[in-house]
Amino acid sequence: MTQEEGKPTAAERPPIVGTVRNMGEPLRFKDVEPLIGFSAESIKGGEKIKIWTSLALTSDQSLFHHIVENFAGVVHKMAQKAGVRINLHRADTVLLVLKPDNTAELWIDTAAVSLRCAVKRAIKAGAAVFEGDIADVTGMSFPNVEFGEKDKVLCIFREAWRFGFAFDMNPDGKLDLESFTTTLGALHRELRYRHLYQTIADKALFARLVASGWFPFVEIITGEFRELLHHEVAGFDLAEIEQTIIAKFDENRLRHILDRWIAKPHFAAKSSLLKEAIEAFISRKPATAIKILLTEIEGILNEAYRAAHGGQGAKLKELLAFAEASAAHRAGSSNTLLFPVAFGHYLAQNTFANFDPVAATGTAASRHAVGHGAAPQDSYTMTRALQVILTLDQLAFYT
């Protein structure tokens, strides 16, 4: 519990430009009783018991509260034994590292925290990063905390009015720190963007959004989508908010999107067409933008498929499955903000929806209806054009 005489703590050392440091030192404990996990069931003495050695929970789950109360009890017992007063109830981030020599480090809002994110634009080192720049969150870590291969780790953190909790008791004696980082990132993502996950899970709400041509597209998930969602949930006419969203896609923003596309080899092969489509949208010519982009989406997917399969192309059903699998692979999970499974549904129900030429059910949202000239003239709107742009942009993050 004491520092080496004359040696400054991390908080006392002067900062070095371009580096990250912890806010302070951890509380260190000796002779800690070995913790192997948390019980998965209630049993009587002498019976066999199932034990969780790793788990990830949010405060939305009832089990969270039972386990965290026990975790807090373990921590307070260690502190009491060492004669230290702590208060976990006011903490935002608590990290407990149990060492194989029965010592422990307890970080209470003192360890530097790093989020691993996918971003929408190129960002230079040291530049400000805004939430609108975030496309996905794939990890959460403690870059200045030293972890040993045989360590055990437990972490509870606050995000807004909810909490995440994860632990790895390292039963194999080889701590998988990357897996723990990914787990914490998933918890952070699910807590911070809970409204997006709830939208996807609500089948009726999601169906209404898809029918309107909307989806939590990467470009709008941290901005315009929340307001759009509020209008849909409230039962308001979406037309008003759609015009507000369209106005936010000025020439500068659309140029950034175009640059993102052309940076991809399978998009770059069609750069002239894509540029013409974006210029058409800027000039408020939605029919031109829609006809170009909707008829090129399948081709761009095929280019990406060929690049991944030795030049071999595929039919639409295989291409849609490829898009889903590519997104999950790139993000490391199918449960990220890219929502690959849900987007596959969106593509099937909207972009590549079949139409009845006799009943005239096609609209400018459907590639098939547009390609066959079966979409009514009044369905070629700026809203539909923007949705097509955002659909293609989504695929740029997938492949």
Q: Examine the domain organization and report whether 199 and 133 are in the same domain.
A: no
pLDDT tens for each residue of 226-239: 999 999 999 999 99
Q: Examine the domain organization and report whether 173 and 230 are in the same domain.
A: no
Work out the burial of residue 17: count CB atoms within 10 Å of its CB; fewer than 13 is exposed, 13-18 middle, 19 or more buried. Answer: exposed
pLDDT of residue 372: 66
For the record, the structure tokens of 193 come out as 């963007």
> Is 13's pLDDT higher than 60?
no
Q: Examine the domain organization and report whether 32 and 155 are in the same domain.
A: yes
Q: Examine the domain organization and report whether 48 and 158 are in the same domain.
A: yes
More confident position, 113 or 308: 113
Q: HSE of 228 in the Cβ direction (CA atoms, 13 Å)?
A: 27
Instruction: Give the chain's domain count.
Output: 2
Q: What percent of the chain has pLDDT over 90?
A: 64
Question: What residue numbers bound the domain in which 314 lies?
Answer: 195-398
The 3-state DSSP class for residue 363 equals coil
**Residue at which a domain ends, from 192, 213, 243:** 192
Residue 101: which residues within 8 A CB-CB, separation 6 or more?
A: none
Q: In 83-141, which residue ranges form alpha helices assigned H by DSSP?
A: none
Domain assignment present for 5: no
Q: Examine the domain organization and report whether 245 and 105 are in the same domain.
A: no
Q: Examine the domain organization and report whether 79 and 157 are in the same domain.
A: yes
Domain assignment present for 60: yes
pLDDT of residue 5: 46
pLDDT of residue 19: 64
Residue 172: which residues within 8 A CB-CB, separation 6 or more?
A: none
Q: Examine the domain organization and report whether 248 and 188 are in the same domain.
A: no
Domain assignment present for 214: yes
Q: Which of 188-202, 247-261, 291-305, 322-336 has the lowest mean pLDDT?
A: 322-336
Smallest CA-to-CA distance from 34 within 202, 169, 177, 196 is with: 169
pLDDT tens for each residue of 195-236: 999 999 999 999 999 999 999 999 999 999 999 999 999 999
**Residue at which a domain ends, from 135, 165, 192:** 192
Smallest CA-to-CA distance from 195 within 163, 227, 166 is with: 227
pLDDT tens for each residue of 119-145: 988 888 888 999 999 999 999 999 999
> How many whole angstroms separate alpha carbon 61 and alpha carbon 365?
39
**Residue at which a domain ends, from 192, 227, 259:** 192
pLDDT tens for each residue of 166-191: 999 999 999 999 999 999 999 999 99
Beta strand 114-119 with 134-141 is antiparallel
pLDDT of residue 2: 41
pLDDT of residue 320: 82
pTM given for the model: 0.86
Return the residue matching tokens 């949208």.
Answer: 281
Q: Examine the domain organization and report whether 85 and 220 are in the same domain.
A: no
What average pLDDT does the segment 249-273 reach? 93
Q: Examine the domain organization and report whether 179 and 199 are in the same domain.
A: no
Domain assignment present for 392: yes
Q: Examine the domain organization and report whether 231 and 134 are in the same domain.
A: no
Q: Examine the domain organization and report whether 213 and 184 are in the same domain.
A: no
Domain assignment present for 22: no
Please provide the DSSP assignment of 295-361 as one string. Answer: HHHHHHHHHHHHHHTTT----HHHHHHHHHHHHHHHHTSSSSTT-HHHHHHHIIIIIT----TTTT-
The 3-state DSSP class for residue 232 equals helix
What per-residue string of b and e applies to 103-142 under the rule 16 or more CB within 10 Å gives b? ebbbbbebbbbebbbbebeeeeeeeeeeeeebbbbbbbbb
Handedness of CA 292, 297, 299, 304 (dihedral sign): positive
The 3-state DSSP class for residue 43 equals coil
Q: Examine the domain organization and report whether 358 and 213 are in the same domain.
A: yes
What average pLDDT does the segment 16-43 reach? 85
Domain assignment present for 331: yes
